[in-house]
Structure 1
Amino acid sequence: MQMPSPGAQQTALETLKNHARKYRRRGISEFRGHFKANMLFVYVVKKAKSGLVGRVFGMSNVKGVGRLARLEYLDPDKWKLLIFKFDSKKYGPHPTFKERTIEKYVDAAADNYIP
């Protein structure tokens, strides 16, 4: 098992943060991640504006935080995807994806689970 360096971990977390901008129109405010050993757990955060004051002043409340995927580190540009399966509440392999980049995996997971 290859462990990601602190630099690779920081790059991965910044990639998640920057990639969330693509999904703002779909109600996603950010992708969060944390490392445990060589795995990056990815969560999606949806926010909603509440009430008239919230809409006028641009304030928002957290609508929900949900599990999205678990990425296993292979090398800086190569990760293995395990998608969170809501029916079994476990992570399982994606049927068509092999080793790819974080951006491709977040897109695949988001397309499957984010309306």
Structure 2
Amino acid sequence: MAKLSLFERRRRRVRTALRKHAGSKPRLSVHRTGQHIYAQIIDDAEGRTVAAASTLGSKSAGGNVEAAAKVGKDIAAAAKKAGVTTVVFDRGGFLYHGRVKALADAAREGGLEF
């Protein structure tokens, strides 16, 4: 077996723990690149995306904390519209600070519980 990167090891460890504790809750998955940040609420039982938001369509730069907070508010609003109130937070292999933390805090302020 090929040696996994530290990022991939963290990502697998986080996902395994989530499966153990999530139950039937949907998953708020976050992906971060140098220029953008993406958030999806995924229902793993049905295998479909319930809601999504990103900085891709916005005019402002996506590589900063303010843009990540806006995506957090947008995903919370989209989740409410879809009838989702409780999720589990899947940070993937990303460390919980900076843009990822800003997105999570804004989603909580928007009404999502995790």
TM score, norm. by length of structure 2? 0.38
TM-score with structure 1 setting the length: 0.37
More helix by share: 2
Q: Which has the higher contact order (CA 8 A, sep 6+)?
A: 2
Return the structure number with greater strand share: 1
Which has the larger Rg? 1
